[in-house]
Each structure stands twice: as structure tokens, then as C-alpha cells.
Structure 1
């Protein structure tokens, strides 16, 4: 890759893009920017191309877990370098994508993917990247998979839970379990 991947501690880049939010005529698109993310946790996940094979399995799984993100006061956004029109066409075409509850960001200029450092060099498509961004717009977690391997949505939720505790979370920690801070405090008393 020619660009460096923006990582933990970096401010998420400024952007303003179209996003597909519906298949209903006249209500298909919205404008989406950093302003829409202020004050909330955001999970932004990227896939390489619409009308492919691994991508809809991930998008459908994120959609099945949509309430898990909203219960954590997190905005969920999917993205690729395809246009908002291609996103809508794919949603109409693929049964698992028809009733998505989150926006599909269209980075047709590839500027945001490039600024994030996740644009694959040869095909100029986004890697399977996932960013967790805090309420101040700071990137707190990045995960990137090769083009042919889907991600684990439960792991994204687990990491979001851990970040939201603002405490030390041990290996394989899950929401509801004790954090290391709680364990250390108990040991000291």
C-alpha cells in the first residue's frame, strides 16, 4: 500500500459524502459528514465492492446486530468506493440487503479510503477495514482484513464494549465480566 493506514489516536478525517439509506423512491439518499458523528461512538466498516460474494455476508451480519450497536449509543455506517446508485441497486437486487438499518456510504472519489490508507493499490478498492471512532472523532480501534476474508462482527461489538468501559479489559473479556481495574481494586482491599 502506498498510504499509511490511519491508526489509533488519529483524528478521523473530515468528509462529506452521499449515502444510500433506502430503496424507497425519493428517499434513497442522505448527505453524511463528520457533523453526523459528533458526540457518539461510530463504527465504520468498509468492503471492497458491491455485487460481490463475501461482502453481503458481512453487511447482513452487521445488520442483524444493528440493535447491539444502537444499544451502545454507537452509529453504524457501512462504506465502499461504489456510488450511492450502485448501493441502492445492490440493495434492491440482494434479499439480505433490502432492509438495511444503517447507511451505505459512497466514497466514489476514493478520497476518504485513500486518506484512511485502506485503498488497495492495484484495484483501487477499499480493504475490509473497520474503524471504531469515539465521541471526539478519535480513532480508537482499527482492524483490516485481506480482500478475501470476512470479519467477525461479534469481535467488533466486544471491542466497542471494552473501549466504552474506559478500563483495562483482559484477553477474551466480554461485557458484564470484571475488568482488571475492578479485580486490582478488590485485591488491594
Structure 2
């Protein structure tokens, strides 16, 4: 993604201390993991499952002007095609 000119941000509804423990358990992450503990961001992007209180796993490609150019709100990290779709969306950015 970075080679294509994209910046990666991960957002979770967990708190910062949970993120630190998770990141440490993985030996670090090559991108920031942001806390949306009050669920405002996930709610705003329409991926919060209000019944479960947790967000769906999703990928958004947002351009430099803040416009969402790609959305996959059924992202499956085990599906290589989902990564390919996201890379294609980044490559298609103006």
C-alpha cells in the first residue's frame, strides 16, 4: 500500500492500553492503531453493529480530500482477493 502512495491506519474500538498489549504481542505493527473507544468513527462510517456493540471488519480507501473512494465492509483478512481489490482502488486514485 505504501509503495502505491497510500498511508495505512487501523482503527479499533478497544482502548489504547489494549492496543499496546496487542501490538506488543505481535512484535509491533508497521502502521498506527487508533482507538475509537466511544465508537464515533465506526458509527459514522456505518460499520458499527449496534446489537453487538462492535464494528464489522472493513477497509476504506479515502483520498487526500477526505472522499471515500472504496469501501469493503465485509473484509476477510484470509481472502487475498480483498487485498487485491484495495490495492486496485489505491492505484486508481487521481
TM over 0.5: yes
Across the aligned residues of Structure 1 and Structure 2, the Cα RMSD in angstroms comes to 1.7
Normalising by structure 1, report the TM-score. Answer: 0.45
Task: Say whether residues 1:108 and 2:6 are aligned partners.
Answer: no
For residues 27-53 of structure 1, the C-alpha deviation after alignment (integer angstroms, 9 at most, x for no partner) is xxxxxxxxxxxxxxxxxxxxxxxxxxx
* Number of aligned positions between the proteins: 91
Unaligned runs of 5+ in 2: none
2:84 to 151, 154, 175: 154
Contact persistence 1:80–1:125 (CA under 8 A): no
Contact persistence 1:82–1:107 (CA under 8 A): yes
Pairing 1:24-35 to 2, within 5 Å after superposition: none
Task: Say whether residues 1:92 and 2:27 are aligned partners.
Answer: no
Unaligned runs of 5+ in 1: 1-68, 167-189
* Partner residue, 2:46: 117
Counterpart CA distance in 1 for 2:59 and 2:40 is 17
Counterpart CA distance in 1 for 2:61 and 2:30 is 18
Q: Secondary structure at the match of 2:24?
A: helix
Higher RCO (Cα < 8 Å, 6 or more apart): 1
Counterpart CA distance in 1 for 2:24 and 2:64 is 33
2:72 to 132, 136, 143: 143
Counterpart CA distance in 2 for 1:159 and 1:115 is 21
Q: Which has the larger radius of gyration?
A: 1
- Please report how far the alpha carbon of residue 99 of structure 1 lies from its aligned counterpart in structure 2 after TM superposition: 2.6
